[in-house]
Every structure is written in C-alpha cells, then in structure tokens.
C-alpha cells in the first residue's frame, strides 16, 4: 500500500538525482563524449565527500591515486609557477590520471572556498 508507494517514489527520486549528476559530468571536458549509460554508472561508483570552506581537498605535493570530481561549489589552488591563486569552478576534475595508466604526479594544494 502506502509504504510500497513511498518506496517507489524514493527510487524514482534517486534515479532522477543520478541523471542530474550524470548530466553535470557530461559538462566536464574529460567526460564530454561519454555515453549517458557510462556516466550514470560512474555516478553510482564514486565516493561522495563534503568539504567546508577552508578545508584542504588535496594536500600539496601529494600523489593522488585517483581523480577528484568537483561537482558543487568552487575551490582554489595555488599556481606553482607564479604563486597566484587559481579559482576552480564546478563541475571540474583534477588529480592524477594514474587510473588511466598515466604516471603519478605530485599535486598542488587545493582548498574549498565554499561548501563543495
């Protein structure tokens, strides 16, 4: 009855959320040519994390063993060349592409400037 209907509404709402997140991912260059099916699978397998303003998302000179997807808010990294702060707007990716077979490189510090 009513419990079953509520469960169905939750599933439909969750599936709609997945589609919205997959749609946002398609706006990131690295995923712009991927199929909706692939993006929906990706959204289901990522580990979401919440960062508050001022929190470090990526430590300076750390080797990230994966890709970071900034899906909300904006962050900032310090450009090692000139020391200038570079603003990163969502949706955006940064980090190592080791999972694609690329060499691991040390990363620059990235801090959340607002809720991310």
Q: Which residue has the tokens 């580990």?
A: 47
Q: What one-character DSSP code corresponds to residue 30? A: G
Encode the chain (116 residues) as per-residue pLDDT tens digits. Answer: 677 766 666 665 556 655 667 777 788 888 888 888 888 888 778 777 888 899 988 887 666 667 788 888 889 987 766 678 889 888 888 765 555 655 555 667 889 998 88
CB 53 within 8 A of CB 114: yes
CB 56 within 8 A of CB 89: no
Tokens of 61: 């000179």
């Amino acid at each position: 009855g009513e419990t079953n209907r509520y469960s169905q509404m939750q599933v439909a709402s969750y599936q709609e959320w997945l589609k919205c997140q997959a749609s946002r991912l398609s706006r990131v260059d690295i995923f712009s040519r991927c199929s909706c099916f692939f993006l929906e699978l990706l959204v289901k397998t990522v580990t979401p994390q919440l960062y508050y303003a001022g929190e470090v998302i990526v430590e300076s000179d750390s080797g990230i063993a994966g890709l970071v997807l900034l899906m909300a808010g904006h962050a900032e990294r310090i450009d090692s060349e000139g020391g200038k702060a570079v603003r990163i707007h969502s949706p955006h990716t940064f980090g190592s592409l080791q999972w694609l077979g690329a060499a691991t490189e040390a990363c620059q510090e990235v801090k959340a400037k607002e809720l991310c």
